[in-house]
């Protein structure tokens, strides 16, 4: 019978005496605090628990955002979260890229932007659209010939290269 390479005789890692065993269990280091400071078996780490009147942070934050705040310009009071969103939008419209990023992330979180949503299908061109495009291409071709004297411009603008 073959012996696995790590299973050699006398190479076992079990302690040889009880003093060695207690030294291992009482050792102090990363993940092994001193035994007198460890949690006792059967006792809670937080025996008194959360105080009765304490409120969660989400509750406090939600109440603060729902609170109405007086706005300048003689307008009616608005909710704090409405003001924050309007300020974020104003900053984004002033080309603040961080505000644009935050606004887009917020919209995505709220379900306003669906990353899996496909783009709207392309609309089929009507005969009028095709005529307009070909007329525009002709005008560009003629202006290019006039300025460059180059005749290498393709005739069909929709032709694949």
State pLDDT tens for residues 71-99. Answer: 887 788 999 999 999 999 999 999 999 99
Question: Cα–Cα distances in Å, from 102 out to 74, 79, 98, 112?
Answer: 29, 20, 6, 13
Q: What is the pLDDT of residues 115-148, one digit of tens each?
A: 666 666 677 888 998 899 999 889 888 888 888 7
DSSP bridge pairs for 78: 69
Q: Note the residue count of the chain.
A: 161
Instruction: List the Cα angle 17/21/25 in 5-degree steps.
Output: 170
Answer yes or no: is pLDDT of 161 > 50.
Answer: no
Answer yes or no: is pLDDT of 20 > 80.
Answer: no
Residue 128: half-sphere exposure toward Cβ, Cα within 13 Å = 0
User: Mean pLDDT in the chain?
Assistant: 79
In the DSSP assignment, the letter for residue 111 is: T
């Amino acid at each position: 019978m073959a012996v696995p390479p790590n299973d050699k005789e006398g190479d076992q890692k079990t302690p040889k005496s009880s003093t060695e065993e207690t030294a291992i269990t009482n050792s102090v280091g990363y993940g092994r605090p001193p035994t007198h400071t460890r949690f006792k078996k059967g006792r809670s780490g937080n025996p008194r628990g959360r105080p009765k009147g304490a409120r969660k942070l989400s509750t406090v934050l939600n109440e603060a955002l729902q609170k109405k705040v007086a706005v300048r310009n003689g307008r009616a009071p608005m909710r704090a979260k409405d003001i924050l969103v309007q300020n974020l939008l104003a900053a984004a419209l002033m080309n603040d890229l961080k505000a644009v990023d935050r606004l887009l992330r917020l919209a995505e979180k709220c379900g306003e932007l669906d990353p899996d949503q496909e783009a709207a299908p392309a609309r089929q061109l009507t005969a009028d659209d095709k005529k307009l495009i070909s007329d525009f291409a002709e005008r560009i071709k003629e202006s290019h010939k006039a300025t460059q004297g180059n005749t290498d411009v393709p005739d069909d603008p929709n032709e694949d290269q």
